[in-house]
Structure 1
Amino acid sequence: MKMMTSDGIQLAYTDQGDGPVILLLAGYSGIKEEWQYQVTFLLQQGYRVITLDWRSHGASTRTAKHLRIMRLAADVQELLLVCQVTTATLVGHSMGASVIWAYLTIFGEQRVSRIVTIDESPKPLNDTYWQAGLNGLTWENFWVRLPYILRQPMTVAGISEPLRQELKTTRAVHPFDEALCGPLLGDHLQQDWRETCQSLTIPQLMIVGAASTMWQGDYTIICENNNNNVVRIQNAGHMPHMEQPDAVNAYLHTFISA
């Protein structure tokens, strides 16, 4: 399915099933097909499941226009309106989590019943007072390291061969342009959503890849004394939803149905 945003960009999405709505949002360079195991499971549990390809990702329009986290949050709002969703659970992996926090900052919690973030710190940049961001990333080395972020190991358990082949086939048809999307990654990594996390009045589940090499320190400390849950997926790196889908699905279902 396709929708046109208010700034003239065509976005690809899927909308399947009936029941409580769950919107699955991939990370930087990610595509909606990454959620295959979650979509199948959640549909079986009686949910309505929506997935989205960000602008310049997957089957959506390739463009340099408005490649900013705040604009992606607006795209989410417009998707919810197109799909006539009045309330939803938002699930975001990596940059998708950043977009969720941006969405809540701009649009509030009116359409969101709860959120799930997967392996993402609310502040990727480390500084003197925050040492729970992207491993080794500081303002001093930011622009030098930026082009190499995707070169880091992302998984420890690997991804099943059927899913790997599906992603390979889809990416061959819709290749990702790192040079085009570089400004989006830069914008994402400069955000600070700690205040948003601390001010939430809806439940948040933080899913952490226990063996993820992406992060230093423990960014889940931002959830202390707040309406949050933290779970760690064993034998998983930065992509628990693909590395250990059964474990992630179980936590999702328990959290959403509570």
Structure 2
Amino acid sequence: MGYVTTKDGVEIFYKDWGPRDAQVIFFHHGWPLSADDWDAQMLFFLAQGYRVVAHDRRGHGRSTQVWDGHDMDHYADDVAAVVNHLGLQKAVHVGHSTGGGEVIHYVARHGEDRVSKAVLISAVPPIMVKTEKNPGGLPKEVFDNFQAQVAANRAQFYYDIAAGPFYGYNRPNAKPSEGVIWNWWRQGMMGSAKAHHDGIVAFSQTDFTEDLKSATIPVLVMHGDDDQIVPYADSGPLSAKLLRNGTLKTYPGFPHGMPTSNAETINADLLAFVRG
């Protein structure tokens, strides 16, 4: 574990586990979490002989709680800083939710020379907010309300997300895990309210259409059709169609947080894609 300092003076925390000469899998977390959200994947791939890397996005987790730069350009540049610092080559980049947007924007902004494949899990691309070009998106008022709740009482808001729609715990016959709920809450509360407030705009209003179109590497799009955070119909299938070399894998009944709630299935499919 360590830190890298970006060009604008932000310290980005990262984990780097495994043999130096092994295939690298770089994990990108969702909003408002941290690298810890990838525990189930990092331990699994480490046991399979891979080198695993994950960072805390600026303002999140253990990275600097800087007041500015909470946008996809800075997020992508921060990833590049970690990649360059560690000298990573031909990594597979895996992003969940906001992290999926970060992955495809990093690939488009910094090129594919150091990237072999990418995976977008329950990811925000092409664009979440409703626009003339994206009539199936969510109204901007939804995200304005998110920001209002972060400002008013984010501790309660974060508990309600984790205990409800994020893992599908609000569905009939669901079996909530208090440990999972409180771990989500813990990660969220470690970060900066300013970063999380601004990050809502970054994940909801960034249009990743051209980023998706420009990618030539193999990209696996994984999405649950019961995703209550990033609705399936306006995300996974649309992203897969825009990608030149994209594959869509749909998971019936799986929630937004499926890397945790359905880790065994997700890990097996990730491993098959990495090896393929």
Length-normalised TM-score, structure 1: 0.88
Deviation at 1:178, TM superposition (A): 2.8
Identity, % of aligned positions: 25
Q: Within the alignment, does 1:248 sit opposite 2:266 as a pair?
A: yes
**Is the alpha carbon distance of 1:53 and 1:142 closer, same or farther for their aligned partners in structure 2, counting shifts above 3 Å?**
closer
CA distance in structure 1 between the partners assigned to 2:72 and 2:80 by the alignment:
13
Q: What is the CA-CA distance between 1:156 and the residue it aligns to?
A: 1.3
Q: Which residue of 2 aligns with 1:228?
A: 246
- Change in CA separation of 1:216 and 1:252 when aligned onto 2, cut-off 3 Å: closer
CA displacement at 1:167 relative to structure 2: 5.1
Match of residue 11 from structure 1: 12
* Residue number in structure 2 paired with 1:54: 57
- Tell me which of 168, 173, 192 is aligned to 1:177: 192
Structure 1: which 5+ runs fail to align? none
- Cα distance, 1:245 vs. partner? 0.4
2:100 and 2:55 map into 1 onto residues whose CA distance is 14
Q: Tell me, what secondary structure is at the counterpart of 1:86?
A: coil
More helix by share: 2
- Quick one: structure 1 residues 44 and 159, their matched pair in 2 at CA, closer, same or farther if it must change by over 3 Å? farther
Letter in 1 for 2:212: C
Instruction: Assess if the C-alpha contact under 8 Å between 2:27 and 2:53 holds in 1.
Output: yes
Residue 233 of structure 2 is aligned with which of 217, 231, 245?
Answer: 217
Q: Name the aligned partner's letter for residue 193 of structure 1.
A: F
CA distance in 2, matches of 1:145, 1:116: 26
Once the two structures are TM-superposed, the CA of residue 203 in structure 1 deviates from its matched residue by: 0.5
Aligned to 1:147: 148
* TM-score, scaled to structure 2: 0.82
SS at match of 1:249: helix
Query: What are the Cα deviations for residues 123-147 of structure 1, in whole angstroms up to 9, with x where unaligned?
Result: 11122332343xx324x66535543
Question: Matched residue of 1:182: which SS?
Answer: helix
Deviation of residue 196 (structure 1)?
1.7
Equivalent-residue separation in structure 2 for 1:90 and 1:51 (angstroms): 10
Q: For the residues of structure 1 that align with 2:182 and 2:203, how far apart are their CA atoms? A: 28
Aligned twin of 2:114: 111
Pairs within 5 Å for 1:19-58? 19-58=22-61
Match of 2:134 among 127, 130, 135: 130
Greater Cα shift, 45-54 or 210-219: 210-219
Question: Within 1, Cα distance between the matches of 2:181 and 2:17?
Answer: 22
**Structure 2 counterpart of 1:3, which letter?**
V
With over 3 angstroms needed to count, the CA separation of the structure-2 counterparts of 1:224 and 1:102, relative to structure 1, is closer
- Give the superposed CA RMSD: 2.5
- One-letter amino acid of the structure 2 residue matched with residue 155 of structure 1: Y
